[in-house]
A and B are shown apart, each in its own frame.
Chain A
Amino acid sequence: MRIISLISKALPLNIAYAHCDVPCSIYDPSPAQIAASTVLKMVQKINDLPKNNLKVQERNAFVRMVWVKEEHARKCKEEILILWTDYFKPEHLEIFPNLHETFWKAAKLCSKNKQEVNFKAALELVKAVDGIAAIFKKAEKKSSKQ
Protein backbone atom coordinates (compact mmCIF):
# COMPACT_ATOMS: atom_id res chain seq x y z
CA MET A 1 0.00 0.00 0.00
CA ARG A 2 2.78 2.41 1.02
CA ILE A 3 4.89 1.42 -1.98
CA ILE A 4 1.97 2.08 -4.32
CA SER A 5 1.43 5.49 -2.70
CA LEU A 6 5.10 6.37 -3.12
CA ILE A 7 5.17 5.24 -6.75
CA SER A 8 1.92 7.08 -7.38
CA LYS A 9 3.39 10.36 -6.15
CA ALA A 10 6.18 10.08 -8.70
CA LEU A 11 3.85 9.38 -11.62
CA PRO A 12 2.37 12.14 -13.76
CA LEU A 13 -1.42 12.26 -13.69
CA ASN A 14 -3.31 11.71 -16.95
CA ILE A 15 -7.04 11.86 -17.60
CA ALA A 16 -8.99 8.76 -18.71
CA TYR A 17 -12.56 9.28 -19.82
CA ALA A 18 -15.21 6.76 -18.83
CA HIS A 19 -17.20 8.39 -21.59
CA CYS A 20 -20.94 8.50 -21.23
CA ASP A 21 -23.82 10.34 -22.75
CA VAL A 22 -27.15 8.56 -22.56
CA PRO A 23 -29.40 9.88 -19.77
CA CYS A 24 -30.28 7.49 -16.95
CA SER A 25 -31.18 7.62 -13.28
CA ILE A 26 -27.58 8.44 -12.31
CA TYR A 27 -28.25 12.10 -13.12
CA ASP A 28 -29.26 13.85 -9.94
CA PRO A 29 -29.67 17.53 -9.03
CA SER A 30 -29.05 16.83 -5.30
CA PRO A 31 -25.27 17.51 -5.38
CA ALA A 32 -25.95 20.91 -6.96
CA GLN A 33 -28.62 21.66 -4.34
CA ILE A 34 -26.26 20.73 -1.49
CA ALA A 35 -23.47 22.83 -3.03
CA ALA A 36 -25.79 25.85 -3.41
CA SER A 37 -26.99 25.50 0.20
CA THR A 38 -23.35 25.33 1.33
CA VAL A 39 -22.61 28.58 -0.52
CA LEU A 40 -25.54 30.25 1.27
CA LYS A 41 -24.42 28.89 4.65
CA MET A 42 -20.87 30.14 4.11
CA VAL A 43 -22.11 33.62 3.19
CA GLN A 44 -24.17 33.68 6.40
CA LYS A 45 -21.19 32.52 8.47
CA ILE A 46 -18.83 35.04 6.85
CA ASN A 47 -21.32 37.83 7.54
CA ASP A 48 -21.59 36.69 11.18
CA LEU A 49 -17.85 37.16 11.75
CA PRO A 50 -16.70 40.34 13.52
CA LYS A 51 -16.07 43.12 11.00
CA ASN A 52 -13.00 44.61 12.72
CA ASN A 53 -10.00 43.45 14.72
CA LEU A 54 -10.30 39.79 13.81
CA LYS A 55 -8.30 37.41 15.97
CA VAL A 56 -5.97 34.92 14.27
CA GLN A 57 -8.50 32.11 14.72
CA GLU A 58 -11.28 34.25 13.19
CA ARG A 59 -9.07 35.19 10.25
CA ASN A 60 -8.33 31.51 9.73
CA ALA A 61 -12.06 30.73 9.85
CA PHE A 62 -12.74 33.53 7.36
CA VAL A 63 -10.23 32.14 4.86
CA ARG A 64 -11.66 28.64 5.24
CA MET A 65 -15.22 29.87 4.73
CA VAL A 66 -14.26 31.79 1.60
CA TRP A 67 -12.47 28.69 0.28
CA VAL A 68 -15.50 26.47 0.96
CA LYS A 69 -17.81 29.02 -0.69
CA GLU A 70 -15.53 29.14 -3.74
CA GLU A 71 -15.25 25.36 -4.01
CA HIS A 72 -18.99 24.73 -3.63
CA ALA A 73 -19.91 27.45 -6.12
CA ARG A 74 -17.53 25.74 -8.57
CA LYS A 75 -19.02 22.31 -7.79
CA CYS A 76 -22.56 23.68 -8.16
CA LYS A 77 -21.69 25.09 -11.58
CA GLU A 78 -20.11 21.81 -12.67
CA GLU A 79 -23.15 19.79 -11.54
CA ILE A 80 -25.70 22.02 -13.25
CA LEU A 81 -23.63 22.09 -16.45
CA ILE A 82 -23.66 18.26 -16.48
CA LEU A 83 -27.47 18.29 -16.19
CA TRP A 84 -27.79 21.03 -18.82
CA THR A 85 -25.45 19.56 -21.42
CA ASP A 86 -25.76 15.80 -20.78
CA TYR A 87 -29.20 15.10 -19.35
CA PHE A 88 -31.48 17.59 -21.06
CA LYS A 89 -32.16 17.06 -24.75
CA PRO A 90 -33.74 19.27 -27.45
CA GLU A 91 -37.13 17.58 -26.90
CA HIS A 92 -37.19 18.93 -23.34
CA LEU A 93 -37.34 22.46 -24.76
CA GLU A 94 -40.89 21.78 -25.90
CA ILE A 95 -41.93 21.14 -22.29
CA PHE A 96 -39.58 23.67 -20.70
CA PRO A 97 -39.17 26.56 -23.17
CA ASN A 98 -37.10 28.58 -20.63
CA LEU A 99 -34.69 25.72 -20.05
CA HIS A 100 -31.59 27.39 -21.51
CA GLU A 101 -32.23 30.69 -19.78
CA THR A 102 -32.83 28.92 -16.44
CA PHE A 103 -29.52 27.06 -16.64
CA TRP A 104 -27.61 30.04 -18.01
CA LYS A 105 -28.81 32.26 -15.15
CA ALA A 106 -27.98 29.58 -12.55
CA ALA A 107 -24.47 29.15 -13.99
CA LYS A 108 -23.98 32.94 -13.92
CA LEU A 109 -25.13 32.99 -10.28
CA CYS A 110 -22.45 30.43 -9.42
CA SER A 111 -19.83 32.80 -10.81
CA LYS A 112 -21.34 35.79 -9.00
CA ASN A 113 -21.21 33.85 -5.73
CA LYS A 114 -17.55 33.08 -6.29
CA GLN A 115 -16.80 36.76 -6.91
CA GLU A 116 -18.84 38.19 -4.03
CA VAL A 117 -20.02 37.63 -0.47
CA ASN A 118 -23.60 38.43 -1.31
CA PHE A 119 -26.54 37.03 0.68
CA LYS A 120 -29.09 37.97 -2.00
CA ALA A 121 -27.06 36.25 -4.74
CA ALA A 122 -26.58 33.14 -2.59
CA LEU A 123 -30.30 32.93 -1.89
CA GLU A 124 -31.03 33.39 -5.61
CA LEU A 125 -28.63 30.54 -6.37
CA VAL A 126 -30.41 28.20 -3.96
CA LYS A 127 -33.77 29.10 -5.54
CA ALA A 128 -32.40 28.73 -9.08
CA VAL A 129 -30.99 25.27 -8.35
CA ASP A 130 -34.21 24.22 -6.63
CA GLY A 131 -36.01 25.35 -9.80
CA ILE A 132 -33.69 23.16 -11.89
CA ALA A 133 -34.35 20.24 -9.53
CA ALA A 134 -38.10 20.73 -10.05
CA ILE A 135 -37.67 20.75 -13.85
CA PHE A 136 -35.52 17.62 -13.61
CA LYS A 137 -38.15 15.87 -11.49
CA LYS A 138 -40.87 16.69 -14.03
CA ALA A 139 -38.66 15.48 -16.91
CA GLU A 140 -37.94 12.23 -15.09
CA LYS A 141 -41.63 11.71 -14.35
CA LYS A 142 -42.49 12.26 -18.00
CA SER A 143 -39.79 9.88 -19.27
CA SER A 144 -40.86 7.15 -16.83
CA LYS A 145 -44.42 7.33 -18.24
CA GLN A 146 -43.16 6.84 -21.83
Chain B
Amino acid sequence: MNLISILPLLKFKVKEKSMIPLLKPGDEVIVWKLSKLKIRDVAVFRKDKKFYIKRISKIKDDSTSSRFRGASKYFLEGDNEKESIDSRKFGWIERKDIIGKVIYKF
Protein backbone atom coordinates (compact mmCIF):
# COMPACT_ATOMS: atom_id res chain seq x y z
CA MET B 1 0.00 0.00 0.00
CA ASN B 2 1.55 3.32 -1.00
CA LEU B 3 1.21 6.78 0.52
CA ILE B 4 -1.12 7.93 -2.27
CA SER B 5 -3.73 5.46 -1.08
CA ILE B 6 -3.49 6.02 2.69
CA LEU B 7 -2.91 9.74 3.25
CA PRO B 8 -5.95 12.10 3.21
CA LEU B 9 -3.71 15.02 2.20
CA LEU B 10 -1.27 14.97 -0.68
CA LYS B 11 1.20 17.45 -2.10
CA PHE B 12 1.71 17.92 -5.83
CA LYS B 13 4.05 20.00 -7.93
CA VAL B 14 2.50 21.31 -11.16
CA LYS B 15 4.20 20.65 -14.48
CA GLU B 16 3.20 22.23 -17.79
CA LYS B 17 0.96 25.16 -18.55
CA SER B 18 -2.66 24.27 -19.11
CA MET B 19 -3.80 25.71 -15.75
CA ILE B 20 -2.24 29.13 -16.29
CA PRO B 21 -2.97 31.72 -14.86
CA LEU B 22 -4.12 29.93 -11.68
CA LEU B 23 -1.30 27.41 -11.62
CA LYS B 24 2.08 27.87 -13.22
CA PRO B 25 4.72 25.20 -13.78
CA GLY B 26 6.55 24.67 -10.49
CA ASP B 27 3.64 25.71 -8.26
CA GLU B 28 2.91 23.36 -5.38
CA VAL B 29 -0.58 22.51 -4.16
CA ILE B 30 -2.19 20.54 -1.33
CA VAL B 31 -4.96 18.11 -2.30
CA TRP B 32 -7.65 16.90 0.12
CA LYS B 33 -8.90 13.47 -0.82
CA LEU B 34 -12.11 13.45 1.21
CA SER B 35 -13.88 16.50 -0.26
CA LYS B 36 -17.14 16.24 -2.12
CA LEU B 37 -16.38 17.31 -5.66
CA LYS B 38 -18.32 20.01 -7.43
CA ILE B 39 -18.17 21.95 -10.68
CA ARG B 40 -15.34 24.57 -10.75
CA ASP B 41 -13.19 22.59 -8.29
CA VAL B 42 -9.59 22.05 -9.35
CA ALA B 43 -8.83 18.37 -8.97
CA VAL B 44 -5.98 15.91 -9.39
CA PHE B 45 -6.77 12.65 -11.15
CA ARG B 46 -4.93 9.58 -12.30
CA LYS B 47 -4.76 8.50 -15.92
CA ASP B 48 -2.34 6.05 -17.53
CA LYS B 49 -0.25 5.85 -14.34
CA LYS B 50 0.31 9.63 -14.28
CA PHE B 51 -1.35 12.39 -12.27
CA TYR B 52 -3.04 15.32 -13.98
CA ILE B 53 -4.46 18.55 -12.60
CA LYS B 54 -7.51 20.20 -14.22
CA ARG B 55 -10.77 21.95 -13.35
CA ILE B 56 -14.08 20.06 -13.16
CA SER B 57 -16.43 21.57 -15.74
CA LYS B 58 -19.24 18.98 -15.81
CA ILE B 59 -20.50 16.17 -13.61
CA LYS B 60 -22.93 13.47 -14.71
CA ASP B 61 -24.52 10.44 -13.11
CA ASP B 62 -23.11 7.27 -14.49
CA SER B 63 -26.21 5.24 -15.30
CA THR B 64 -24.07 2.51 -16.86
CA SER B 65 -22.65 1.62 -13.46
CA SER B 66 -24.76 -1.17 -11.98
CA ARG B 67 -22.50 -1.71 -9.00
CA PHE B 68 -22.49 1.84 -7.72
CA ARG B 69 -25.84 3.59 -7.99
CA GLY B 70 -25.43 7.33 -8.20
CA ALA B 71 -21.77 7.03 -9.21
CA SER B 72 -20.63 10.11 -11.11
CA LYS B 73 -18.30 10.83 -13.97
CA TYR B 74 -16.35 14.02 -14.26
CA PHE B 75 -15.35 16.18 -17.21
CA LEU B 76 -12.13 18.04 -16.47
CA GLU B 77 -10.66 20.88 -18.54
CA GLY B 78 -7.61 23.12 -18.34
CA ASP B 79 -8.17 26.82 -17.63
CA ASN B 80 -5.89 27.59 -20.55
CA GLU B 81 -8.37 26.07 -22.99
CA LYS B 82 -6.44 26.73 -26.18
CA GLU B 83 -3.49 24.74 -24.90
CA SER B 84 -4.97 22.08 -22.71
CA ILE B 85 -5.28 18.41 -23.45
CA ASP B 86 -8.11 17.26 -21.20
CA SER B 87 -11.51 15.56 -21.12
CA ARG B 88 -12.30 17.10 -24.51
CA LYS B 89 -9.69 14.67 -25.81
CA PHE B 90 -9.65 11.74 -23.39
CA GLY B 91 -13.25 11.79 -22.17
CA TRP B 92 -14.99 11.54 -18.82
CA ILE B 93 -13.08 10.51 -15.69
CA GLU B 94 -14.54 8.14 -13.11
CA ARG B 95 -14.67 9.08 -9.41
CA LYS B 96 -12.28 6.29 -8.48
CA ASP B 97 -9.59 7.90 -10.65
CA ILE B 98 -9.93 11.33 -9.03
CA ILE B 99 -7.43 11.73 -6.20
CA GLY B 100 -9.00 14.81 -4.63
CA LYS B 101 -9.58 18.53 -4.72
CA VAL B 102 -6.97 21.28 -4.49
CA ILE B 103 -7.49 23.10 -1.19
CA TYR B 104 -4.30 25.13 -0.97
CA LYS B 105 -1.80 26.67 -3.34
CA PHE B 106 1.63 27.79 -2.13
Contact = CB atoms under 8 A, between A and B. Distances in A.
Contacts of B36: none
A20 B83 contact: yes
Contacts of A18: 14-20, 23, 25, 52-54, 78, 80, 84
A94 interface: no
Contacts of A11: 7, 9-11, 30
Interface residues of A, number: 18
A7 B28 CA distance: 13
B34 interface: no
A24 B83 CA distance: 7
A12 B78 CA distance: 25
Interface string B1-39: 001100101111111111110010100111000000000
Given A4-B30, A8-B30, A26-B20, A19 B86 contact: yes
Nearest to B2: A12
A15 B51 CA distance: 7
Interface string A66-89: 000000000000000000000000
A16 B9 contact: no
16 contacts: A8-B28, A8-B30, A11-B10, A11-B30, A14-B12, A15-B50, A16-B13, A16-B51, A17-B14, A18-B15, A18-B80, A19-B52, A20-B80, A22-B83, A22-B84, A26-B80
Interface of A: 4, 7-8, 11-24, 26
